[in-house]
Structure 1
Amino acid sequence: MKTVVVAGNPKPSSRTLDAGVRLAGLLGAEPPEVLDVIALGPGLLGWGDPEVKHAVELVAGADLAVFASPTFKATYTGLLKLFLDQFATGEGLRGVVAVPLMLGAGPAHALAPELLLKPVLVELGATCPAPGLYQLDSSYDTDSSAADYVRRWGPALTASIGSR
């Protein structure tokens, strides 16, 4: 299973990236490919940048992609949006099973992955057979939220990958 973790945090090597890699590992992807979107730099601001094109191809070729973002102003980051804008509507993520993952400081935005990130992934053609996962950034690495998520939704994700 080819798995890619896409981290849309403006800080390189962030907790968001770590949470995405941890979730991918729990889903059986060892080691996943990692795309820290901030590393793409100003190439995201236009079209045709070779490094961005390569990143898009990497993600579009995945069986499973974890799209991870911190919660900024109650939604995912503009950085992640710039990257997602590089994909063709309806087909750019066709064949990719996607998991929206967001980290935040408190439970107030717990529905953000489901209400804000998941719809754009589906718009780009991804299959999202499970709800998004929201984790507290202060405890994502010590609590059981990711393991609980995988226990509940891992079979649906695996079945979706196997049925493509």
Structure 2
Amino acid sequence: MTDLRQPASRRALLPTESLAVPTTVLVGNPRRESRTLTVARHLTGALRTGLGDFGVHLADPHLVDLAELGPDLPSRLIAGAAGNAPLEQVLARVRSPGLLVVVSPTFKGSYTGLLKLFLDMLPREGLRPGTVAVPVMTAGWAQHRFVPDAQLRPLLVELGAVVPVRGLAVLEEEFGDLESAVAGWTEAAVPVLAAVLHGCRPPTPLSPHLAEPAPVP
């Protein structure tokens, strides 16, 4: 039965059965425990809360922190073939349908080379159908607010993702109050993401033998 206490705009989106959308958070900062990672965790929590209000329930997010994988990436790219089982499991996780949140600091006006190195290992249109991606970047200057849409969005589209909302840029001066920094963006983005995720076919689960990456706290 429809909850008539919900605003009309939200009632129209509520499904008869809740979705459990697999969620992966890919962080492209080469530094461990970076502020970019902090932003990624905060934003993912905000998305889980906001989408839940629209009846879209995210599964426990899985964190792929490239700072942990950096030493393995060049050899895998040069070899061009599988060889490192944990890395192959991470690649499989990122390719899987669901919500993919990609977060990178701004280096020289673009995303990091580490992120590009990792994504270059995927085949053409390597993100499987049903992947809904959100581009997010941190930056030091206000003039870099448009870098997520100018640089990161085209890369995700090229790989086959649906990118239905504008990218989010979080400036260094906003790190002290992340709730305020992302509030306006989530208010506009969550209804669109909810509608798109409702329209996606149920994602194909990973093979049981694949180990799961660590969940985002």
Q: Secondary structure at the match of 2:63?
A: strand
Equivalent residue number for residue 151 of structure 2: 116
Alpha-carbon distance, 1:86 to partner: 1.5
Pair 85,93 (structure 1): closer, same or farther in 2 beyond 3 Å: farther
Give TM-score scaled by structure 2 length: 0.71
Listed as ranges, the gaps of 5+ residues in structure 1 are none
What is the aligned-residue RMSD (CA, Å)? 1.6
Equivalent residue number for residue 23 of structure 2: 3
1:83-141 CA-to-partner distances (Å, cap 9, x unmatched) read 11121212434321111000011211111100100001000001100011001123235
Equivalent residue number for residue 157 of structure 1: 193
1:55-102 CA-to-partner distances (Å, cap 9, x unmatched) read 111112241111000000010000000111121212434321111000
Alpha-carbon distance, 1:31 to partner: 4.3
Greater Cα shift, 44-53 or 94-103: 44-53
Give TM-score scaled by structure 1 length: 0.92
Paired residue total: 164
Identity, % of aligned positions:
37
Report the residue type matching 2:44 in the other structure.
A
Listed as ranges, the gaps of 5+ residues in structure 2 are 1-20, 49-57, 201-217
Q: Which residues in structure 2 correspond to 1:1-164 (within 5 Å)?
A: 1-28=21-48, 29=58, 31-45=60-74, 46=77, 47=80, 48=82, 49-143=84-178, 144-164=180-200
Larger Rg over CA atoms: 2
